[in-house]
Homo-oligomer: A and B are copies of this chain.
Amino acid sequence: MDHTTAILLEVFVIFAAAQVGGWLARAIRLPDVVGQIVAGCLIGPSVLGWITPSEPLEVLSEIGVVLLLFAVGLETRLDDVKRVGGSAFAVGVIGVVIPFVCGAFWAHSLEPNWPRSLFVAAAFVATSAGITAAILKEMGALQRIESRVILGAAVIDDILAMLLLGVVVAIQAGGSLRIGTLVVVAAEAVGFVLVVGWLGTWMMRRGSKWLDHTRNPLSPLLVVLTLCLGLAWVATRFGLAAIIGAFLAGMIASELRQRVQLGEQMQPLLALLTPFFFVLTGAKVELAKLANGEALWLLLAATLLAIVTKLAGGWLGAIRLGSRSALIVGVGMIPRGEVGIVVAALGLAAGVFGDVLYAVIIAMSLLTSIVAPPFLALLLKNRDSELV
């Protein structure tokens, strides 16, 4: 009881800080989420110490980002993504290869040890779609061709990142690399995405009528929220991020006739729960461990490398859309967010990383999430809307 009360205070503080941060960010024409992340950094353990990331807060944060990607999926139709499939695939693949190769050579130059270097490189790979998706949604840009490419690429990116992580963990542990196992894992993940995408879309087109028969206006929402939470969990069983499952759930729910009503009903849910994701992202930046010259240089190098390599990968993959659009896609792919954090935690647990490298990789992942949004917002603003 007492503990729950203490967390109730943190819940209030996080929510209030997110409102103030979002409001201040809007006042200086930055996206809300930037203000929320910075507010999180301020009230987190590094500065004011008003909140401490804990399991209940992590769960609220996870539910928040799951609902966010679901709502983004709700504005993304499978047919539209299929139309940009080629670009999305190219962005996903090139956007993984370049950061991985460059990251590996950079880590090798710091300490010549290939298994360890490949492990470090894995932290440079995966894009975290949550923050970019929030910006695209906030700016009303989800119908743009660049947004579809980014979201499609994020799915491919996540599959590749998961496979790469499996490979580097196996190499680092000294185990033999079982190509057969990897192929099965890859096939399962791809199969999950395809089955949910095609079968789900087909079922939903038929489900609209059935949902019309229910008299309760909340019934469609309850059905699709169940689907969203279910697929989010199933995605993790296939080694993918929960948000990929939620995005797919949203995408197939976008076939429902009730999608406009559903989109409106999602608004209060996002308003309540996404602040926990952004504030907690900010609160995880551990400034104290980075407060020395060497660590700061390392962080600067890692962050620049992470930004430049992903930007290049995204840009090259999407170049057929024109260089300006390719730039938007590249910037949109920059945030690493939680995947880098997972790699860092695995590396620390396996004894591959020391304290400093661990803090650097986490800070790099978060810095990319803080740096990208203002640029993305700027690029989107200075350009007329271009629908597919």
Contacts and interface: CB of A to CB of B under 8 A. Distances in A.
Contacts of A268: 218, 221, 265-266, 268-269
Given A56-B56, A272-B269, A236 B12 contact: no
A23 to B, nearest CB: 9
A267 interface: yes
Contact of A58 (B4, B9, B11, B66): B4
Number of this chain's copies in the complex: 2
A56 B16 CA distance: 20
B218 A271 contact: yes
- In terms of DSSP, what is the predominant structure of the interface of chain A? helix
A384 interface: no
Contact of A233 (B5, B229, B265): B5
Nearest to A11: B229
Nearest to A217: B267
Contacts of A63: 11, 60
Given A15-B225, A222-B19, A8 B271 contact: no
A276 to B, nearest CB: 11
A213 interface: no
A226 interface: yes
A88 interface: no
Contacts of A56: 55-56, 58-60
A324 B196 CA distance: 54
A195 interface: no
A371 interface: no
B229 A15 contact: yes
A221 B342 contact: no
Interface string A26-60: 00000000000000000000000000000110111
A265 to B, nearest CB: 4
Interface string A121-160: 0000000000000000000000000000000000000000
Contacts of A236: 5, 8
Nearest to A8: B233
Contact of A5 (B12, B15, B242): B242
Contact of A59 (B16, B59, B222, B265): B59
- Which 6 A-B pairs have CB atoms at the shortest separation, nearest pair first? A56-B59, A12-B229, A56-B56, A265-B268, A5-B236, A9-B233
Interface of A: 1, 3-5, 7-9, 11-12, 15-16, 19, 55-56, 58-60, 62-63, 66, 218, 221-223, 225-226, 229-230, 232-233, 236, 242, 265-269, 271-272, 342, 345
